[in-house]
Structure 1
Amino acid sequence: MVFFLDYLQHKRDCQFKQNERIERIKALSRYRGPFTPSDRQIIDRPIEELVEDVHKGALQPATLLDTYGKVALKAHEKTNCVTEVMISEAEGWIRDGSINFKGPLAGIPISLKDTINVGGFDSTVGFSSFVGKKYAEDGPTVRLLKDAGAVPYVKTNLPITLLSFESTNDVWGRCTNPHNSKYSPGGSTGGESALLALGGRIGIGSDVAGSVRAPAHFSGIYSLRCSTGRWPKAGFSTSMPGQEGVPSVYSPMTRTLNDLTYFTRAVVGMQPWKYDYSVHPLAWRPEIEKEYAAKSKLRIGILRTDGVVDPSPACQRALEEAEAAMKLAGHEIVEIDPPSPYEALYLGAHLLNADGCQMFKSFMRFGEWNDPGADQLDWLMRLSRPLKYIYYLWVKYVRRDDIWAGLIQGWHQKTAYENWQLVAKREAYRSKWFEWWNQVDIDCILTHTNATPAVPHDGMKDAVSSCGYTFLFNVLDYTAGCVPITHVDKNRDQLPSGFDIRKLNGVAQGAYKLYDANDMHGLPVAIQVVGRRLEEEKVLALMKRVEDALGDNKYKLLEID
């Protein structure tokens, strides 16, 4: 009876939030209609020009909100990307002096992942048990944004648990890819990427295993995974409070690279350490940005595979195009063989789920839908140890799959002693990378963002462990930027004849079950530009060097309807 009542409350709370969203959108009749020439001009203008016009009084913040409110409603109608609709409240914030329009983001509407706490709104994280728990005041990050002049106007969709490259939950429903509705926009910051691809300006997401980079890759936008302590993270809700084995970081996401650099520079320039105790008091370093913008010959390491899932043809082609462009521009390409990325996947997976998946499950109600990928992690975690050991033996000695067997081995809730051992191994692994990078002496690494383009809906059931290209840099805590390069081409990106999925390891099989160049035709494909810890200035400068080298062949943004 208790379970039944819990389920009924779950359904009521989901319906309440969806009805609330419908009513809020209905009240925004003046934000409907086609884009005007003025709207299109605003969407296409550099952010610096918009801010300067607001400072001079030549452009009103309300005008910018009109445009981006329209963008959000159109994007939501197409992809179900928006959760909390804050546009009416934003109109009030513009009028009542809540926002500093002298700041570096003056008047710029900003979208926020649903986890970010805004006064007067829920932060559901996709859990119905979080419904009706409105925050009394803005969290520190939102206060910083308003002091910088930004106008929060919508929150965006995500996966329940936050452990997925999809963005679906019972509270808000399924978010779809802006290029192809049969595919995911990414996760866990997928609603953000869908909105930005369809004309949004700037936003904030979080990343624990690739959650701002996979959405950028899946949806065709730009993002930067900052190192811990460089971007504020206070004032957020989460599915895994207390998890520090692989710390989650909040980071910027934008429609254009210019906006990404401007936005990152502006937030760091606001001295976020005065808002959030966890931020390092490290000012923006323009001299580093200038150094790598002007360096005549870069030494670039190419990571072609993580040794777990080789890149699909589309992703391989994207990296090769970026590599060829940089080589043509006169830069040195270095084939690299770093410390095993598989070790990072193992350590990250076991650290991230050291609690036995208990924490995220503690917020779930009876009958609440779970992400298929997170459900797989939990199912294997709950499997009795004798059965799990038999499964491990079968995978290792019958299938002869050391990769998947290694991940299965020890997949159980960790004691404090076991967790400390993993943390010690993580630190030793970081030390190996530190010494290796010193020896190879490269400026950056270019690599894939994922082995495949976007996954189809519910595809994370198969591909849940196929996250090594992003997860690696969370374990290392390196700065990593995502640059869209091209689109899947059904004529150029077919699997080679004779390709046999049965010969792949279990992780790679899960990824390649989903790869179909015909169905994926037109989906975006991105690469990562990777630096070391706290090298945000450098990585952003190098992202621009890559894009400039591509010239007329650089990625074409999605057309705005």
Structure 2
Amino acid sequence: MFSFLAHRKACASKQQERRDRIEGLPPVYHAPLSSADKSILAQPASQIVAGVQGGSLSPPDILAAYGKKALKAHAATNCLTEILIPTAEEWAKICDKQGPLAGMPVSLKDTSAIPGYDSCIGYSAWVGKPMQKESALVRLLRDAGAVPFVKTNVPITLLSLECSNDVFGTTTNVWNKKYTPGGSTGGEGALLAYGGSRLGIGTDVAGSVRAPAHYSGIYTIKASMHRFLKTGNPTSMPGQEGIPAVYSPMTRTLEDLEMFWRAIMSMKPWEYDHSVLSLPWREVNLSESKPIRWGVLWDDGVITPSPACRRALQEVVSVLEANGHEVFPINDSPSSYEGLKIASQLLMSDGAKTCMKPMRTGETNDPGVQEAAAMFRVPHFLRKLYTWYLRYIKQDEIYAGLVESWYEKSVPEYLALVSQRESYRERWFEFVHANSIDFILTVPNSLPAPPIGGMKAGWKACGYTFLWNILDYSAGVLPVTHVDAALDALGAFKPKNAIEAAQYRMYDAQQMHGLPVGVQIVGKRLEEEKVLEGMKVIESLLKKEGKAYVLFESDD
């Protein structure tokens, strides 16, 4: 009872604090957007920085424009957690006006540690416990002249592709409030898609920056481990190294994404964070290399991509082929299903105990995490019985093979899984090199954005992103098109397993009409620069064909 009451009190106080901080902002932030504000918001990040460096733009004016827009995004989607604007105003006055991010507002996932502000990441028990030390990432951003100004919402436990918790509530998709913006970096996805920020930072352990990019219609590149800063930020699973989480940039446009990556790498992040490799940004010119070879993963063997997602992938494949690129299916790659089995066991090897430990009595868990935790804690004899039922009665080997391995691991079992992971990585390494693959193209998820609450079924359907986490490959997502009710109807379809059946029950092209659909571009480990160039090739060809993606534009 005391735990439940403490939970309710913490949620109420935190929501009141957020309201008070918003209402207490100077009147300029509550005023309509001026023509000057709209001019600032329309400029690419590189142009804004150049304006500050040249003296034609003032950091406080830029902050005011983005502060206004971020509050409008929050009113529309409930995307913000910590309102840093009063502190940001002071930072804007003293920021380095010659830095690579001079005067540029940057939004941050709620995990980012800023002294004096909470990083409760949806746990009510962590409310009212402000960070004491600035993380390496935030310190670098401020040294580069950037102005962190808001933090954004996440799902409790950080282990969901949607975005809800009792402390801050549910964040919705800018294109349709009934659908999720993605997760776990869902608040960033909504804010960037709305235009309330251009440059943001998220984390990814199974698709947590790529799902929001796909679902919300923005851009990202998931970094390989040790390429990007992460030290000093709280997390839901400290010490989890089986499938390590990585911090990565997220942006509103591809141009902004390149600028952001280059700016951060120019600051020598390895001098801020001991975990970052001393690896400067490398120039990649694809036009001077051998013909580019694009391998296509059309189906991961678990879930067939929905008509909308397959159409987006086909559009990219077609435009590449039409322009002389070498594109081929990779049906003979190492089993994606095997990767999902290994990765899911490693990530949940503790039976979800660590991520759920801070939760209080009565605290609402993500429906997917709740179901996953329950499955990992089922007594062995019941799991064996259920596996037998799935395998021999339902004839569902895919789901049976996953269920039989989902249990809390001992240390020897965990070490054996790490060994399996390394063997799996080796086989992919050999496959990619044997086929001279430059990039792998695939969908980011089998569906566009699922409806709110869809992770009860969708948590098992993250294989298209999770695969590249276990391999530690660099992976980008760019938006390509939107769901079209006429073009993307499902038609006759027979699911091949229970996971696919549950996923497809959420697919409705009529209801999803207009939602963004992205494509995933994957490179080898530590090839973020090359992945960026591959994304630029695709986007430029789509634009040349008159198929440029249309960003969300709000009415304000």
TM-score band, normalised by the shorter chain? over 0.9
Partner residue of 2:92 out of 81, 87, 94: 94
Which residue number corresponds to residue 536 of structure 1? Answer: 528
Q: Does 1:181 align with 2:173?
A: no
**C-alpha deviation, 1:100, in angstroms:** 2.2
The answer (yes or no) to whether the contact 2:201–2:250 under 8 Å persists in 1 is yes
Query: Pick from 288, 292, 303: which aligns with 1:298?
Result: 292
Tell me the distance in 1 between the aligned counterparts of 2:528 and 2:364: 37
Aligned equivalent of 2:45: 47
CA distance in 2, matches of 1:230, 1:43: 30
SS in 2 for 1:347: helix
Question: For residues 273-284 of structure 1, what are the structure 2 equivalents within 5 Å?
Answer: 273-284=270-281
Q: CA deviation at 1:344?
A: 0.8
Is this contact kept in 2: 1:293–1:541, CA < 8 A? no
Residues in 2 aligned to 1:334 and 1:62: alpha-carbon distance in whole angstroms: 50
Shift of 1:85: 0.4
TM-score between both structures, scaled by the size of structure 1: 0.97
* In 1: Cα distance, 2:4 partner to 2:394 partner: 41
Q: State the Cα deviation string for residues 315-365 of structure 1 (Å, max 9, x = none).
A: 000000011111112111112121100011101100000011110111100
Contact 2:63 2:92 in 1 (8 A): no
Shift of 1:32: 2.1
The alignment-based identity, stated in percent, is 50
Indicate whether 1:213 and 2:210 are aligned: yes
Counterpart CA distance in 2 for 1:293 and 1:202 is 28
Q: CA deviation at 1:37?
A: 2.4
State the match for 2:518 in structure 1. 526
> What code does the residue aligned with 1:180 have?
N
Matched, 1:116 2:112: yes
User: What is the aligned partner in structure 2 of residue 170 from structure 1?
Assistant: 166
SS of corresponding position for 2:158: coil
The residue aligned with 2:542 is: 550
Partner of 1:320: 314
Partner AA of 1:549 in structure 2:
L
CA distance in 2: counterparts of 1:39 and 1:78, whole angstroms? 19
Q: CA RMSD in A?
A: 1.0
User: d(CA) in 1 for partners of 2:395 and 2:343?
Assistant: 23
Superposed displacement of residue 34, structure 1: 3.0
CA drift of 1:559 comes to 1.1
2:472 maps to 1:482 = no
Cross-structure match for 2:139: 143
**3-state SS of paired residue (1:529):** strand
Aligned-partner Cα distance in 1 for 2:360–2:237:
16
Q: How do 1:238-387 and structure 2 match up within 5 A?
A: 238-286=235-283, 288=284, 291-292=285-286, 295=289, 297-337=291-331, 338-387=333-382
| Cα displacement (A) at 1:370 | 0.1
Report if the CA contact (8 A) 1:55-1:106 is conserved. yes
The residue aligned with 1:155 is 151
Amino acid in structure 2 at the alignment position of 1:116: S
> Which residue, out of 6, 10, 15, partners 2:12?
15
Query: What is the aligned counterpart of 1:195 among 188, 191, 201?
Result: 191
1:531 alignment partner AA:
G
How far apart are the structure 2 equivalents of 1:156 and 1:401?
Answer: 39
1:26 aligns with 2:18: no
Gap regions ≥5 residues in structure 2: none
Distance 2:290 2:147 in 1: 39
Q: Residues of 1 paired with 2:65 and 2:290: CA distance?
A: 41
- One-letter code aligned to 1:81: C
Q: Whole-Å Cα distance in 2 between the matches of residues 94 and 499 of structure 1?
A: 55
Matched, 1:471 2:466: yes
Supply the distance in 2 between the matched residues of 1:111 and 1:270 (Cα, whole angstroms): 18
Distance in 1 between the 2:405 and 2:314 partners?
Answer: 37
Secondary structure of the structure 1 residue equivalent to 2:517:
strand
Query: Counterparts of 1:236 and 1:509 in 2: how far apart (Å)?
Result: 38
Structure 2 distance, partners of 1:224, 1:44, is: 23
Aligned to 1:237: 234
Shift of 1:294: 5.1
Correspondence for 1:70: 68
Instruction: Give the whole-Å Cα distance in 2 for the aligned partners of 1:158 and 1:47.
Output: 25
Whole-angstrom CA distance in 1 between matches of 2:55 and 2:116: 29
Deviation at 1:46, TM superposition (A): 2.1
Cα displacement (A) at 1:296: 7.4
TM-score between both structures, scaled by the size of structure 2: 0.98
Q: Distance in 2 between matches of 1:357 and 1:46?
A: 41
2:113 touches 2:131 (CA, 8 Å); kept in 1?
yes
Report the CA distance between 1:394 and its aligned residue: 0.2
CA distance in 2, matches of 1:106, 1:38: 19
**Is the contact made by 1:225 and 1:249 (CA closer than 8 Å) also made in structure 2?**
yes
**Per-residue Cα deviation, 1:137-160 (whole angstroms, up to 9, x for no partner):** 321110000001110000000100
SS of 1:484's partner is: strand
TM-aligned CA deviation for residue 269 of structure 1: 1.2
* 1:412-451 matches, cutoff 5 A: 412-451=407-446
Give the secondary structure class of the aligned counterpart of 1:252: strand
Instruction: Provide the secondary structure at the position in 1 that maps to 2:106.
Output: strand
Judge conservation of contact 2:341–2:405 (CA < 8 Å) in 1: no
Q: Tell me which residue corresponds to 2:223.
A: 226
Alignment pair present for 1:402 and 2:379: no
SS at match of 1:10: helix
Alpha-carbon distance in structure 2 between the residues aligned to 1:494 and 1:294 = 41
Distance in 2 separating the partners of 1:504 and 1:9: 46
Assess if the C-alpha contact under 8 Å between 1:484 and 1:524 holds in 2. Answer: yes
Amino acid of the structure 1 residue aligned with 2:471: L
**Contact residue 117 and residue 236 of structure 1 kept, 8 A:** yes
Aligned residues: 550
Per the TM alignment, residue 94 of structure 1 is displaced from its structure 2 partner at its CA by 2.1
Gaps of 5+ in 1: none
Report the 3-state secondary structure (helix = DSSP H, G, I; strand = E; otherwise coil) of the residue aligned with 2:73. Answer: helix
- Measured in 2, the distance between the counterparts of 1:296 and 1:277 equals 36
Partner amino acid, structure 1, of 2:497: N
Counterpart amino acid of residue 128 in structure 1: S
- C-alpha displacement of 1:295: 4.7
Letter matched to residue 414 of structure 1 = K
**Whole-angstrom distance in 2 between the partners of 1:541 and 1:379:** 43
Task: Give me the whole-angstrom Cα distance separating, in 2, the residues matched to 1:518 and 1:32.
Answer: 36
Conserved in 1, the CA contact under 8 Å of 2:369 and 2:459? yes
Q: Which aligned runs of 4 or more in structure 1 are off by greater than 4 angstroms?
A: 293-296
